[in-house]
Amino acid sequence: MNQLVEALHWVLSAEAWTGPGGLGARTAEHLWYTLIAVGLSVLVALPAGLIIGHTGRGRAVAVLSTGAARALPTLGLITLAALAVGIGLTAPMIAFVVLAVPSIIAGAYSGVEAVDRRVVDAARAQGLSPWQVLTTVEVPLGLRMILGGIRLATLQVIATATLAAYVGAGGLGRPLFLGLRNHDYAMMLGASLMVIAVAVLVDAMFVIAQRTLRRIPGIV
């Protein structure tokens, strides 16, 4: 309990927030890393997941490959990437993208597959092209599940972005590893609490977005 109180005292102190290495700057770095990693993952995984869900082709391969990717140890992947590309931000970004892609693919194809086939067949009977069926029927009706996949990927990246500091990058992992090295447990626990707070706030934003989608006609 004393360590928790000390950690909260450190987080709330002005000293912890000042300077380029303060919590404000480190939190901004952490969110920036998350945005880049999830953005790149969406560019790669979302089209693939939508195509798989729409056509039904490659689903077994997607399930196996995403399952295998989820089983990869993030720290080990960062270490291997750092050995290949060097110390810096590139190595953890590779690992974070690999970590985020499976959830986005799964959310995308699950969202499309969950759409009532009778609605899809009716759209096709009206003469809509496959592209029109996907963009005007399947994506809107499966949007909440698609967003759920992005939500899960984002939270996974936020939780593991602390490891970026392991190879010389920034983020909230810097005070965490610094506290560990200096046996400053208040700093270490305080940095952990900041990661939790960021994850909770971002998750709350996704919950609000998903609840808002429920009120929009044509989206379930």
Residue 47 makes CB contacts below 8 A (sequence gap 6+) with none
Helix-helix angle 173-181:23-55, to 10 degrees: 120
- The per-residue pLDDT for range 127-137, each reduced to its tens digit, is 888 899 998 99
- Contact yes or no for 20/164 (Cβ under 8 A): no
Q: What is the structure's pLDDT at 10?
A: 86
Q: Which residue has the tokens 């931000």?
A: 89
- The per-residue pLDDT for range 72-115, each reduced to its tens digit, is 788 888 888 888 888 888 999 999 999 999 999 999 999 999 99
Q: What is the structure's pLDDT at 220?
A: 58
Confidence of residue 219 (pLDDT cuts 50, 70, 90): low
Q: Which residue has the tokens 């009778």?
A: 118
Q: What is the structure's pLDDT at 52?
A: 92
Q: What is the structure's pLDDT at 210?
A: 86
Sign of the dihedral defined by the CA atoms of residues 4, 6, 7, 12, in that order: positive
Tell me the C-alpha distance between 53 and 18, whole Å. Answer: 48
Residue 25 confidence (pLDDT) above 90: yes
Could you tell me the domains of the chain? 3-214 (1.10.3720.10)
Tell me what percent of the residues of the chain surpass a pLDDT of 90.
54
Q: Which residue has the tokens 């399947």?
A: 138
